[in-house]
Structure 1
């Protein structure tokens, strides 16, 4: 296998492995689980006092497992091609290449982190005369000081709904 083909395989493998990380989108205040849809949830208006940037640590187990699987598959294919070419098309060389490539690819996938940091916001707000803070996955441009809606699905959860709109990308 020539250097450019090998480089292409390395690039594809690394892109597949690094692309397997959680965006944290599932934790945004305006994302609901199926069991929360069409059910009554307590809601009230609050006054947002401050919107500050935050980083939220989210679980990336699924992304890591996907990276290991994709890395193993791509590694097996690349290893099989390399093994076949370097052993003059022998079955043994191909099998060894597939096995070695799968192992290397899966190992590369295991380098993906178990957790990732995603962008979030720290919202300070007043509710019933008390000042609270809630960290949420979201973008700074989705929130602004002023009136917002908070939805509670249980006693401790706060879902401050976005009260602003991010500029449209052109």
Structure 2
């Protein structure tokens, strides 16, 4: 295989690694969109009564699409290289094998789920004499019973800000 054919998969792999998104990060209570930065939003202090671990289903379509693109590029490059090397007509063999490899790569990338489960918390809190519950993307160690700030982005959408810090990971 020529060195040029090795460059294409390497670039494709670098592209997918740099474009990988962590699903759910955009749904965290402490993540803001550009429209929400410097914008006044109503906030209230609430009293968290209970913190329970939860799983939250989030969109993973961006990672799925990236996997399909990279799979197609890698499949095309590897298929073209192998097809050209083993065919009596290198141009025709490389082209046909490249197309087949691209199709196989896209199909392989389609195996990445379009929705995934991420860590979350179920927060039961008291506000103005009423008890409510709100699911948030995050880790249980980021919350503890007691006072917390809740930002209301709409009358029915709340973002309970983390009121604790997770311990640093233990180095082995």
Q: Normalising by the residue count of structure 1, what TM-score does the alignment of the two structures yield?
A: 0.85
| Match status 1:95 vs 2:95 | yes
Show the 5 A alignment for 1:19-168: 22-87=22-87, 90-168=90-168
- Distance in 1 separating the partners of 2:137 and 2:127: 20
Structure 2 counterpart SS, 1:40: coil
RMSD of aligned Cα (Å): 2.2
Q: Normalising by the residue count of structure 2, what TM-score does the alignment of the two structures yield?
A: 0.84
Q: Which runs of 5+ in 2 are unaligned?
A: 2-8
- Distance in 2 separating the partners of 1:123 and 1:69: 39
Measured after TM superposition, the shift of residue 88 of structure 1 is 5.3
Task: Kindly report structure 1 stretches of 4+ aligned residues shifted beyond 3 Å.
Answer: 19-22
**8 Å Cα contact 2:23/2:59 also seen in 1:** no
Structure 1 counterpart SS, 2:168: coil
Q: Which runs of 5+ in 1 are unaligned?
A: 2-8
- Distance in 2 separating the partners of 1:102 and 1:161: 45
Cα displacement string for residues 47-77 of structure 1 (whole angstroms, at most 9, x for unaligned residues)? 1111111111111121111111111001111
Structure 2 counterpart SS, 1:153: strand
Structure 1 counterpart SS, 2:82: helix
- Distance in 2 separating the partners of 1:143 and 1:24: 17
**8 Å Cα contact 1:22/1:58 also seen in 2:** no
- Distance in 2 separating the partners of 1:20 and 1:67: 9
Measured after TM superposition, the shift of residue 109 of structure 1 is 0.8
